[in-house]
Structure 1
Amino acid sequence: MNQKNLEYLKDQIKYTGFGEGLEEVLKQKIAKGQPEFKIPHLTHFGSNKVDSTLHFSKSKKTDMYFFNSYQVSVQKENNPDETMKQTFYINKGNNITLKEAYNLMEGRSVNKELTNKEGQLYNSWLQMDFKQSDDNGNFKIQQYHQNYGYDLEATLAKHPIKELENETYKSNLVDSLKKGNLQSATFQKEGLEQKQYIEANPRFKTINIYDSNMQRVDNRQSKTEKQSEAQSRSVKQEHKGQEQPIADEAQDIPKAKKKRKRPTIT
């Protein structure tokens, strides 16, 4: 058995988010010398069941094995009859971890350092497009490169978030959001503190904010502002028939998500 190859695969599995519990079964599979093999993995994120299958193949020229990909299957507690599947491929660079894969499948965005075909590193936000899929049934992953102009820290600074006042808490908050987590944050409003949940939204260069019932706070406020603005326009047009209406500044804000159960924050 190629010991260096075994150690490399063990580290690769570990740092892709599958822990150290698969070492023995990995060793047994390699010892059999088969051209391909799979290793199952089961975990839960919150109340959702996450089944994974890790795929390995042997080199046709040497005794080395490669960790090629893993397929993730998510089954939600509140909808056990529906299962979502997606395959994530392993590259030489910074791979998508299991938790990041889960976050992508939940519709959130993940920030990664990736490697292009020329071997050059670049930074990008990733978000799954549930309207487009390939021939294998995998949803397309959209990329928002650094030139797209999404600055997470600058976006957070627009909101009265208490954690931003402490550099350590701020760093932890930013890191968690970049991993695609739905993160709790303390909002300070009119002298009161209110716990809410936020997630990065690179596509619209903002953050999504949810209350304790997982209702979109910003969208609900935006709707109220739209109604108020519409009423204001109506009054203006009655008094100034030639005045042109103001462009709707909220037209690019995405629609509110359906009500979800309060998540477990990790």
Structure 2
Amino acid sequence: MNQKNLEYLKDQIKYTGFGEGFEAPLKRMMEIEKPAFKLVHETKFGTDKVEARMNFSKSKQTDMYFFNSYQVSVQKENNPDEAMKQTFYINKGNNITLKEAYNLMEGRSVNKDLTNKEGQLYNAWLQMDFKQSDDNGNFKIQQYHQNYGYDLEATLSKHPIKELENETYKSNLIDSLKKGNLQSATFQNEGSEQKQYIEANPRFKTINIYDSNMQRVDNRQSKTEKQSEAQSRSAKQEHKGQQQPIADEAPDIPKAKKKRKRPTIT
């Protein structure tokens, strides 16, 4: 068994968001030189059950193993008989983590540093297009590059958000939104403070704002934006009927803790 390969794969698993509990099953599969195998990870985000199946394969020429992809299945509490599935591929660059994958599957946007075919780094916002899917049933992921002109910090500055007054809180808020999280924020209005929830919306160069009941409160949303989002959510719900509008999410999701189970092998 290639020990360096084991350490590399162990780090890949860890930094893709699956934790540190897979060394033993990974080592066992590599020692018996199984040509291909899966490791299964189960967790929860809020009330949503999430299962990820990590796919590994052995090189035909050497003793090296590769972490190729992982398939995520999201099961809603109010629709336990259906699950939305999407496969995410592992690249040499900055991979999409499990939480980022979940956020994309929830319809939110994620900001990533990516690598093109020439090996050059570039930055882009990613968002899943629920109206387009490939032959394997995977939804297309749209990219909004730097030259698209979405400036998250400038967009946030247009709103009376208390956290922007503190550089540390501001940085944490921006980092969380870039990971695709639905993030709580304190809005100040005529001497009063109100807790609301926000998410990045690079396509329309704005942010989406929700109240404590997860109802959209941004009255400046354009007619085009409303129609586009309605069509996207309709397409997402029609895909096996498993997804609910974001307004149905519990308001404590941004702070929800993951519940881990022991890894399994298939």
TM-score bracket relative to the smaller structure: 0.7 to 0.9
Whether 1:265 and 2:254 are equivalent positions in the alignment is yes
- TM-score, with length taken from structure 1: 0.87
The Cα offsets for residues 64-98 of structure 1, whole Å up to 9 and x where unpaired, read as: 00000000000011221220000000000000000
Q: How is 1:160-179 mapped onto 2 (pairs within 5 angstroms)?
A: 160-179=160-179
Using the TM superposition, give the Cα deviation of residue 253 of structure 1 relative to its aligned residue in structure 2, in angstroms.
2.6
Answer whether contact 1:204 1:252 (CA < 8 A) is retained: no
Measure, in 1, the Cα distance between the counterparts of 2:58 and 2:42: 24
Measure, in 2, the Cα distance between the counterparts of 1:136 and 1:222: 38
Structure 2, unaligned stretches of length 5 or more?
A: 234-244, 256-266
Answer whether contact 2:46 2:250 (CA < 8 A) is retained: no
Measure, in 2, the Cα distance between the counterparts of 1:26 and 1:214: 41
Amino acid at match of 2:224: D
Structure 1, unaligned stretches of length 5 or more?
A: 224-249
Match of 2:30, SS? Answer: helix
Measure, in 2, the Cα distance between the counterparts of 1:9 and 1:265: 29
Match of 1:265, SS? Answer: helix
Match of 2:225, SS? Answer: coil
Using the TM superposition, give the Cα deviation of residue 222 of structure 1 relative to its aligned residue in structure 2, in angstroms.
4.1
Q: Looking at both structures, which has the greater relative contact order when contacts are Cα pairs under 8 Å and sequence separation is at least 6?
A: 2
**How many equivalent residue pairs?**
238
Q: How is 1:1-266 mapped onto 2 (pairs within 5 angstroms)?
A: 1-218=1-218, 221-222=219-220, 250-254=222-226, 255=229, 258=245, 259-263=247-251, 264-266=253-255
Tell me how large the CA RMSD over aligned residues is. 1.2
Measure, in 1, the Cα distance between the counterparts of 2:38 and 2:125: 30
Measure, in 2, the Cα distance between the counterparts of 1:39 and 1:4: 19
- TM-score, with length taken from structure 2: 0.87
Using the TM superposition, give the Cα deviation of residue 265 of structure 1 relative to its aligned residue in structure 2, in angstroms.
1.1
Measure, in 2, the Cα distance between the counterparts of 1:138 and 1:129: 10
Structure number with bigger Rg: 1
